[in-house]
Amino acid sequence: MKEYIKLDEWKIIEEGLVPSNNRISESIFSIGNGFMGQRANFEEYYSGETLQGTYIGGVYYPDKTRVGWWKNGYPEYFAKIINATNWIGINVAVEGELFDLNHCEVEEFTRELNMHDGVLSRKAIATLPNGKKIKLTSRRFVSLIEKDLGAIEFTVVPMNFSGSIELVPYLNGDVVNSDSNYDEKFWIEIGKKAGQEFSYVHNKTKKTGFDVCTAMKWQLSVNGNNVECEFTLHEDVSYVANKLIVEAKQNEPITLNKYVTVESSLYNKSEELVTVAEKRLNELFSKGFNRLLDEHSQTWHKKWEESDIRIGGDLSAQQAIRFNIFQLYQTYTGENENLNIGPKGFTGEKYGGVTYWDTEAYCLPFYMRTADAHVARNLLKYRYNHLKKAQENAQMLGFNHGAALYPMVTINGEECHNEWEITFEEIHRNGAIAYAIYNYIQYTGDELYMAEYGLEVLIGISRFWSQRVNWSEAKQKYVLLGVTGPNEYENNVNNNWYTLKLINWTLNYTMEQVEKLSATGQFDQIAAKTRFDKGAELDKWKDVVDNLYFPEDKSRNIFLQQDGFLDKDLTPARELPASERPIHQNWSWDRILRSCYIKQADVLQGLYMFEKDYDEETIKRNFDFYEPLTVHESSLSPCIHSIIASKIGYHDKAYEMYLRTARLDLNDINNDTEDGLHITSMGGTWMSIVEGFAGLRMHDNTLSLAPSIPNQWEFYEFRIVFRGIKLDIRVEKGNVLINNLSDKEMRVRLHDEIHQIDPGSSASISTGMQEIIS
């Protein structure tokens, strides 16, 4: 754990340049707008530890799979949102010497991310080996309103001299991915131009053929006045630059404003990209840096009005939740149904920037409760658009009749994960997608989605489930063999309880929806399209549901994670030496697989999702057994434990787990933030407050709250949207204040009592709730 980030309610602040922390900070201070993103690399040359990263949503490369032992059904590639043209570059030379913070005497260094305005800034005062001292400041943003724009204000002040300063704004498309399987470059140059008014690099991805044109224009000023200067043009492979030479005076600031547009063939014709880039660049350049920044910041202010969470009395928790919300909206805005949410978003290369089941399980709840309805709908529609590919994936593994197995990892609907224990066995991902349909419709009331898209997906998944189980003569039950649950520290197990629960629930839910739409005449078209044999298929599904095996331990009265789990040494995780944590970085894989230690919620994931099926004592018994064995080495683990702990009254544990999920990256808790942020788990952080502490649920088509409040907090306040009604909910010790910000009346259940709140009105409700988390 590293705790070098300064506490501030709206800012992320780093003071002092510690080279060993730089890659971590590059992740933490990343910026993006849902269409593209940029790690917090320095604009100028830096020879120290760095991972340069510029990423464009939807632009990927199918990196050929690299495995030692090929198995039938393996995907041929791993899709990656690849490193793209580095647009931020501005090199600096002072009196002929290249400025490099790694070889300077650094007197002062600050990096700051203003989350309220969406701006990354930096300040450094440093002396070069030649004795020249300069002050460097920069501000940059990726526009939330102009999706193709990145802009930088870069200022250099000579502090102890007058003399020559060279600034080199450049674009470099000759980039690599550090995780390339064969050390291959993924781009080929189509064209480039270094010009006085307009420079660009036009590259195309190999194999996939995505065209991207990155263009730049700049403006130089000295002491606040625009100036002309001597410059030269430079070109190289996928590289263009303008070298500017300024005769600087001591203490006079030299400012370079750099404007960049990034245009891709996802939204424009390839042959028109350069023209579009130049036109857009001229339009944006004419507005100037400050106006563009103001428009961008105003857009962020509106986002915060919709989704901010305020916490009183706990600065660490306040900073953390805003950081999580900020990164979620930097990664996905819901404007394009072909884009999704990668586990690292636009902050690093790990996981390839592609889609996992994390989206449905951890991100959908955030977007469907804070954003316009189309945002969450587009997340679901992404999976509907990939249904045919999911059916092809299942067919390749030997399933038939329209069975659908959604990929563990994808960008275009095809499976691209190449570890057999995940690709073939971690099939619970299907259930997360099915549950997301239910979760979305239940909350939003968008019943049309089921007939338009949802039921086709459910039928495909249910067909897969009914074929994936098999009848056991020994048990006289249907069983599920050779799977991996959410706990990836167990592979190739039999009868994973969580996956069995998903099978049971999905089949029941699909049958219910078939009957419901049949009664309204909406099912006929779906039946014809899916070639659904209603009698035979429903009979089969019902037989599976009625005869499905679930492992349990009757002596402890708990559900077993899988067959044979109790054969393990059940030494609690708290007894592990600190020097051996995290175990995935210190133990052999063989030792991990034989251990009882749980990477993330498995049985408890099922109890979280289906809590209505179990009484509180059942949930508590299972929590008491499994949580002490959980090492929380998945970023997705703490949030689920926090939510359940809140429900069952374990308030100390709920707060502990909340801080762990909320500050996971800010404090580098899992020792891997340098690879990129854990974006999808950030949705879980939001859930920890809204579903955990506030106890938000749906009961009988009514929004329900069962709030608690940590002792460390004076209050917390959040906003949600429920079926078009905007609510502001403030929880204090002993009181809940609910403001109806809409023009419709709202009914809210608070601790089993219904309260009606008129349009534009508020209700202050005494709860008798005191300090319950010590």
Kindly list the catalytic residues: 488
Please answer whether residues 666 and 322 qualify as being in contact, where contact means their C-beta atoms are separated by less than 8 angstroms. no
The residues with which 119 forms a beta bridge, in sequence order, are: 114
Alpha carbon distance 335, 408 (integer Å): 24
* 387 within 8 A of 456, measured Cβ to Cβ: yes
Residue 448's alpha-carbon distances to 118, 445, 649, in angstroms, are: 36, 9, 38
The neighbour count for residue 292, using CB atoms within 10 Å, is 20
List phi, psi (to 5°) of 511.
-60, -40
The number of residues in the chain equals 774
Phi, psi of 246 (to 5 degrees): -120, 130
Query: 3-state DSSP: the chain helix, strand, coil percent, rounded to 5?
Result: 35, 25, 40
**Is residue 488 left, alpha or beta, with left meaning phi > 0 and alpha meaning psi from -120 to 50?**
alpha
C-alpha count within 13 angstroms, C-beta hemisphere, residue 74: 16
* 8 Å CB contact between 80 and 116: no
Token pair 């781009």 is at which residue?
187
The residue whose two tokens read 């007894």 is 575
Q: Is 373 exposed, middle or buried (0-12, 13-18, 19+ CB in 10 A)?
A: middle
Alpha-carbon gap, residue 723 to 737, rounded angstroms? 20
Pairing mode, strands 702-705 and 746-750: parallel
- Helix 373-385 and helix 429-444, axial crossing angle in degrees, nearest 10: 150
**Which of these, 352, 344, 359, lies nearest to 26 by C-alpha position?**
344
Helices 455-468 + 523-530 axis angle, to 10: 50
Of 372, 410, 451, 412, the residue nearest 209 (C-alpha)? 412
Q: What angle do CA 570, 574, 577 make, to 5 degrees?
A: 105
Structure-block tokens of residue 646: 């809140």
Please name the residue that has the structure tokens 């949930």.
Answer: 619
Alpha helices per DSSP H over 6-137 = 22-28
Strand extents, DSSP E, 128-272: 133-142, 149-158, 163-172, 187-193, 199-205, 211-222, 225-226, 230-236, 239-248, 254-264
Q: Which two tokens stand for residue 455?
A: 């039921």
Pseudo-torsion of CA 34, 36, 39, 42, nearest 10°? -130
Partners of 93 in beta bridges: 98, 166
Residue 43 DSSP label: S
Separation between Cα atoms, residue 319 and residue 11, nearest integer Å? 7
